[in-house]
Structure 1
Amino acid sequence: MTDADAVLADLAAESDQLDGWVSDLDDDGWKVVTTPEGWTVAHQIAHLMWTDRASLAAIAAGEEWEALVATAQADPFGFVDSEAERLVEIAPESMLHHWRDSRQRLADALAGVPKGEKVAWFGPPMSATSMATARLMETWAHAHDVAEALGVEVPRTDRVRHVCHLGVRTRGFAYLMRGQEAPDAEIRVELTAPSGELWTWGPEDAENRVTGDAWGFALLGTRRRHRVDVDVRAEGEAADDWLNVVQTFAGLPGNDPLPLSERG
């Protein structure tokens, strides 16, 4: 199994898990609000479906992709939300059908991208493995929004490693999205997986270190938790500063998440 195959298998598992949480919801269930900004369960699924379709257009690299880029350039801060608002009007049963279709077609398309070939995106171009990892991260994060709103306990699995890996790899990009430059310092990252395995990144002798719970780091990186609510620690000024800005996704960071103690 290649790296891409492994990520695609984990992406399918994350998607199927979320599918199971929403497939039996009635109309009122799809209207449950999941975020402070007012996104409902329907918005979450619509967004995942739209991003699958955008990824398919990027792989095809034709007129549809060019039109998406033009739309993004015309409204860089609002086009993603606008697309979710447009698609949220689809009936739940139809939404599920289209989402299942789009994620399967995307998996097939990503499996067919030649090794070494880059796919265009709204940010830097990505390999098929990187695009699959980004889709898994998005699915993992938005599934958390849905699960918390519905009162579903999310099973802790080692599939979260992909989310952690993105968080580490995008350190410089996280600063860029805030108009800042990352400190010129190596950081050692040591995270404990749900299985108990230790995952590491960076040089062992780095003075700056981030250690702790992998699940918490992923919640921090997807900006679902404030750092006071996760078991993740920093040693060194650069490491401490990074935990204030870490994000796994492309685009602006949005509002800082409130500590759980301050949420309504």
Structure 2
Amino acid sequence: MSDPAVVLDDLREESEALDVLVGEVSAERWSAPTPAVGWTVAHQIAHLAWTDRAALLAVTDSDGFAAEVAKALAAPERFVDDGAEEAAKLPPTELLAHWREGRELLQEALRAVPAGGRFPWYGPPMSAPAMATARLMETWAHGQDVADALGVVRTPTDRLRHVAWIGHRARGYAYLVRGLPVPVEPVRVELVSPRGESWVFGPEDAAQTVTGPALDFCLLVTQRVHRDDTSLVAVGADAEQWLGIAQAFAGPAGPGRPAEGARPADESRRAQEAPAQGAP
């Protein structure tokens, strides 16, 4: 995992990039549907704001967070959607201000966590670097949903390294959440970064490998693209199986995205590595 300050700086930059994207669109476009069924652009930002506030509570008020966990356990199928639904009703300017305030408060709180310190979360306790990495991954992934909804092609950055790292680290979780046995044999992941550099995760002597563009890997582990619509190459049965169920985010097993050929023409995947375009 990267230095905490580096991850937090990258999280801020990722959030600011999404902020620019949504800050330039009209109020009407906030109600545009995104690839996540039932969620608009407003829901995506509301979800990020809700999760930032939950993380802030976990860092600063363990008793208060325990009460929120109890609410989640009482409605495990609804608590995430309910959190997004409530804030999504706010006018766009208020929702944007709410998100900005919460994410900055979380930045301050995470920077104040002592080295080695941990705090509660919905799963195992988290460290500040781990939480920052998870927040960056989710911000980037939901930002992809927003970009798709607005017809914007984003330029990938080296911040994807954090997403790739957590995607590789969460390999075992993808099996556990589906009730499948976790393979013993390791998989080495060799990716080409947006700048053409090599990013490698996993032991050098691993017999099974996954290779390809870092962008494709990150889209896949966040379930923003179907396996068949990537350029990733898997060597080994376990490696291939993993790519079919990869999941970097916590929670129940995600349904993933349909293959491009199974979507309506107007929902086909855009060329991800084209230069960024302005929001309509």
Q: TM-score, normalised by structure 1?
A: 0.97
Secondary structure at 1:46's aligned position in 2? helix
Higher deviation after alignment, 45-54 or 35-44 = 35-44
Give aligned-pair identity as a percent. 50
Secondary structure at 1:85's aligned position in 2? helix
| Cα distance, 1:36–1:51 mapped onto 2, change above 3 Å | closer
Secondary structure at 1:73's aligned position in 2? helix
Aligned to 1:22: 22
Letter of the 2:105 counterpart = R
Letter of the 2:110 counterpart = L
Aligned to 1:220: 220
Report matched runs for 1:115-264 at 5 Å.
115-264=115-264
Secondary structure at 1:158's aligned position in 2? coil
Letter of the 2:46 counterpart = A
Aligned equivalents of 1:64 and 1:26: distance in 2? 36
Unaligned runs of 5+ in 2: 265-280
Secondary structure at 1:258's aligned position in 2? coil
The one-character-per-residue Cα deviations of 1:52-99 (angstroms, maximum 9, x if unpaired) are: 000001101333201210011111222101111111111111111111
Aligned equivalents of 1:78 and 1:232: distance in 2? 34
Aligned to 2:85: 85
Aligned to 2:267: none
Aligned to 2:69: 69
How much has 1:125 moved relative to structure 2? 1.3
Letter of the 2:227 counterpart = R
Letter of the 2:199 counterpart = W
How much has 1:17 moved relative to structure 2? 0.8
Higher deviation after alignment, 58-67 or 107-116 = 58-67
Aligned equivalents of 1:64 and 1:183: distance in 2? 38
How much has 1:147 moved relative to structure 2? 0.5
- 1:33 and 2:33 correspond: yes
How much has 1:119 moved relative to structure 2? 1.9
Aligned equivalents of 1:101 and 1:256: distance in 2? 31
Q: Which has the higher contact order (CA 8 A, sep 6+)?
A: 2
Aligned equivalents of 1:254 and 1:200: distance in 2? 26
Give 4+ residue runs of structure 1 displaced > 3 Å after superposition.
none
Aligned equivalents of 1:212 and 1:168: distance in 2? 14
| Cα distance, 1:97–1:36 mapped onto 2, change above 3 Å | closer
CA RMSD after TM alignment: 1.1
How much has 1:205 moved relative to structure 2? 1.4
Aligned equivalents of 1:226 and 1:95: distance in 2? 31
Report matched runs for 1:76-115 at 5 Å.
76-115=76-115
Secondary structure at 2:25's aligned position in 1? coil
Aligned equivalents of 2:239 and 2:52: distance in 1? 33
The one-character-per-residue Cα deviations of 1:85-130 (angstroms, maximum 9, x if unpaired) are: 1111111111111110001010110001111111211111111001
- 1:60 and 2:60 correspond: yes
Secondary structure at 2:119's aligned position in 1? coil
Aligned equivalents of 2:222 and 2:243: distance in 1? 12
Does the 8 Å CA contact 2:11/2:136 hold for their aligned counterparts?
yes
Aligned equivalents of 2:263 and 2:201: distance in 1? 33
Letter of the 1:218 counterpart = C
Q: TM-score, normalised by structure 2?
A: 0.91
The one-character-per-residue Cα deviations of 1:180-219 (angstroms, maximum 9, x if unpaired) are: 1211111111111001110111111111111111100000
Does the 8 Å CA contact 2:224/2:256 hold for their aligned counterparts?
no
Secondary structure at 2:123's aligned position in 1? coil
Aligned equivalents of 1:118 and 1:179: distance in 2? 28
How much has 1:144 moved relative to structure 2? 0.3
How much has 1:27 moved relative to structure 2? 2.3
Secondary structure at 1:65's aligned position in 2? helix
